[in-house]
Amino acid sequence: MSGPSPAAGGGRGGVLALACLAQFMVILDVAIVNVALPSIQADLAVDQGTLAWVVIAYGLPLGGCLLLGGRLADLLGRRAVLLTGLLAFTGASALAGAVDTVGLLIAARALQGLGAALIPPAALATIAVTFEAGPARNRAFGLFGAVTGISASVGVLASGLLSDGLGWRAVFLINVPVGLVLIAMTSRLLARQGRRRSSADLDLLGAATVTGALLLLVLGLSRGAEVGWSSGPSLASLSAAVVLLGCFVVVEARSQAPLVPAALRRNRSLVTASTAALFAFAALFAFIFLGSLLMQEVFAYTPTRTGLGWLATTLVSFVAAALTGARLVQVLGVARLLVAGQLLLAAAAYLLTRVPSDGAYASDLLPALLLAGVGGGLAAPAAQIGALSQVAEASTGVASGVLETVREIGGVLGVAAVSSVLASAAGPAVDRFHAAYWCVVVCGSVGAAVAATSYPRALPAPTLPLGTAGG
């Protein structure tokens, strides 16, 4: 078997940089808009209910179309799908920064989310087939996981700096030069290849049912956190999501070319790592969400100071993730790292169930932020390595789509859960945050238990054949 031939005009390092930067841009935009919302509301005269759709319009297509994006990468080629996603995302970012009505802004955010849904599965699959199984691929996944882990906290910092300085439009326009650079890198670095399979192999009914189900699930979770779980819109969305998921299962069982191949559904390492990742990212995203609000609502930090407060988490997370891919996964294994990472996230949240309202950053916030950084830095790359270690090249796109979908759904679940607790808990503000942090403790603990009891301890040699980064 020959070694990988990753690039049309560059080496594996360039391909890894491309994949990491593309992932960074997508995850950054999940968080970067949040701190800018008050400025958007004032400038465009938006009511609170409509303002929420600036966030939801991005998250809906992102969470709903990741699996479809992964399958398209397998069928049509990773290069073509990555380019399409980058073009759509960059164009939509330019539109979002230029609009003068909230309706156009929401439409631009939806197009951003649709383009974004094509990027992570194509980028992650490109890494999987560019680097040979073992230490080289693990190091690459470690760096990719490090970038994933720090993106949200960097987004909070960047949003504060841009909003306080250049204004809210810069939050979107910053994506344009970055996107153009990534488009050029993709065109140069990834080899052009023909389709490996016909687009007729796409299970259109399966794609429609699961994409619709995921869209409705994200919408129902988001609306439930805002207007209550017993509200008509939330219940209708969640009920319809369950029905469509049931239809998807039936369609997949009968399809000759299912969206998620049977081999992947039976792949224990993929299923277990993805399940553990659901809880890990629920805990991590909820922790970041709560921490940002805690700093501003209880400690009265400015947006910029809030962003700077996350630097400790960002730096520690990056180092921990890089070490996970470079060495720790070989020494400790995927299961132990998933367990350790999620227990550290739970421990970090536990510390903040006791934070006083007049606490100091160094003594009351920093220890928890450092623990969370280490925990996320261990769990994110471990989940990626575990999920893709036993996947054949022809299915790396859809397997990456599964993992990225789980990450997105986990984040929405975590934020929805803690938002509900914040809204319903009684007492002073700090007491409501204490109650909400217990949700993070539970998420991390359950995820650790899943990894400890279900992830296979002894795996055969990875079946992923070496390939190219093109396609």
217-244 pLDDT, tens per residue?
Answer: 888 877 776 677 778 888 898 999 999 9
The per-residue pLDDT for 6 is 47
* Full domain range(s) for residue 253: 204-258
Decide which of 338 and 52 is more confident: 338
Determine, yes or no, domain membership for 195: no
Does 369 lie in the same domain as 247?
A: no
Does 90 lie in the same domain as 135?
A: yes
Does 164 lie in the same domain as 73?
A: yes
Does 185 lie in the same domain as 96?
A: yes
The per-residue pLDDT for 153 is 67
The residue-averaged pLDDT of 158-179 equals: 82
Does 406 lie in the same domain as 349?
A: yes
Determine, yes or no, domain membership for 4: no
How far is it between the farthest Cα atoms of the chain? Answer: 64
Determine, yes or no, domain membership for 6: no
> Distances in Å between the alpha carbon of 294 and those of 41, 231, 291, 405, 454?
21, 27, 5, 28, 35
Tokens 């979002």 sit on residue: 96
Determine, yes or no, domain membership for 460: no
Alpha carbons 333 and 389: distance in angstroms, whole number: 12
> Distances in Å between the alpha carbon of 263 and those of 154, 390, 395, 409?
37, 10, 9, 23
Highest mean pLDDT among 67-76, 81-90, 136-145, 280-289: 81-90
Does 236 lie in the same domain as 335?
A: no
Does 230 lie in the same domain as 128?
A: no
Domain total of the chain = 2
Does 279 lie in the same domain as 330?
A: yes
Determine, yes or no, domain membership for 391: yes
The per-residue pLDDT for 49 is 67
The residue-averaged pLDDT of 397-404 equals: 85
Does 244 lie in the same domain as 348?
A: no
Determine, yes or no, domain membership for 388: yes
Ramachandran bin of 258, using left for φ above 0, alpha for ψ from -120 to 50, beta for the remaining angles:
beta
The confidence band for 95, taking pLDDT boundaries of 50, 70 and 90, is very high
Sign of CA dihedral 321, 322, 328, 333: positive
Determine, yes or no, domain membership for 78: yes
The per-residue pLDDT for 468 is 37
CA torsion 3→5→385→215, rounded to 10°?
Answer: -150
Q: Which amino acid is at 253?
A: A
**CATH number of the domain within which 96 lies:** 1.20.1250.20
Determine, yes or no, domain membership for 272: yes
Does 33 lie in the same domain as 166?
A: yes
Q: Is the pTM of this model over 0.75?
A: yes
**CA 121 to the chain's CA centroid:** 11
The per-residue pLDDT for 82 is 95
Alpha carbons 294 and 376: distance in angstroms, whole number: 20
Does 214 lie in the same domain as 160?
A: no
